Amino acid sequence: MKLTNKDKIMIFIGDVHSNWNGIIFHTKLHKLKNEIFVQVGDFGIGFHEEVYDTKRLLELNEKLSKKNNKLYVIRGNHDDPKYFQGNHIYSNLKLLKDYTVLNIEEQNILFVGGALSVDRVKRDEYQKKHKDRLQWWPNEIFIFDEDKIKDIKDIDIVVTHTAPKFCPPYSVKSSLIAEMSKNDPTLIQGIIEERNEMEKLYFALKENNKIKYWFYGHFHNYETFTFEDTKFTLLDENQFYDFPLIKY
């Protein structure tokens, strides 16, 4: 869809893996101000000491504030979940708790983070060798919480890190997963179970909501497709996706 200067957009961002400067570079390159950014997880927070990470968050918030750009972030599998408990909410940068619902630009958006890491064994081994450097968190996974969504209504957009099993990619037998599963015998089954849980989320939400759009990342590829009445968009790593806010 071709946009005009009068169209209002929301900008969705794929996995960035700590490349926060890339976000600021994008705003400067395109002279963006007063914009809304939504990042779909693997923000890359938690791999350093908390003092250092908190300083970086404050610096990023300050840079966003200069042009009044706002950034909403969910947790991925490369994020320490402790940063997404509602304690890191700044003026222009929001690290959101799972199952947060916000009305942004007249869109009701549900945010749910978390996913299983295919490299969890490798990162766990590193962590055991460097006890002062957390690299993997057992509570990184997506948790389907039916109680938290039973009363949620009128959701327009859902933002998650991983996706239901009917979404691309359809196979869990990539070369990377095959390699990682050699030292992680429960990996493939874990991925299958998680995507089944995400499917439960979709169908539970459908009972009280007419979801128009669903954005996710995690798989480092770009693809769009429609399932029933919902358009799903898989965002690639470091991808910026301009989503036009048009009322029909």
Q: Where are the beta strands (DSSP E) in 40-87?
A: 70-73
Question: CA 75 to CA 7: how far, in whole Å?
Answer: 29
Domain boundaries, the chain: 9-244
Predicted pLDDT of residue 225: 95
Predicted pLDDT of residue 203: 97
- Which DSSP helix (H) or strand (E) runs through 96? none
Q: What is the pLDDT of residues 105-163, one digit of tens each?
A: 999 999 999 999 999 998 888 777 776 666 789 999 999 999 999 999 999 999 999 99
Q: What is the pLDDT of residues 154-211, one digit of tens each?
A: 999 999 999 999 999 988 778 889 888 999 999 999 999 999 999 999 999 999 999 9
The whole-chain average pLDDT of the chain stands at: 93
Q: Please, what's the b/e burial string for 122-140 (b: 16 or more CB within 10 A of its CB; e: otherwise)?
A: ebeeeeeeeeeebbbbeeb
3-state class percentages of the chain: helix first, strand second, coil last, to nearest 5: 30, 20, 50
Question: CA 160 to CA 106: how far, in whole Å?
Answer: 19
Long-range pairs, 51-58, Cβ under 8 A, ≥24 = 53/83, 54/88, 56/20, 57/88, 57/90, 57/93, 57/95, 58/90
Residues 109 and 135: beta-carbon distance below 8 Å: no
Q: 9-244 sits in which CATH class? A: alpha beta
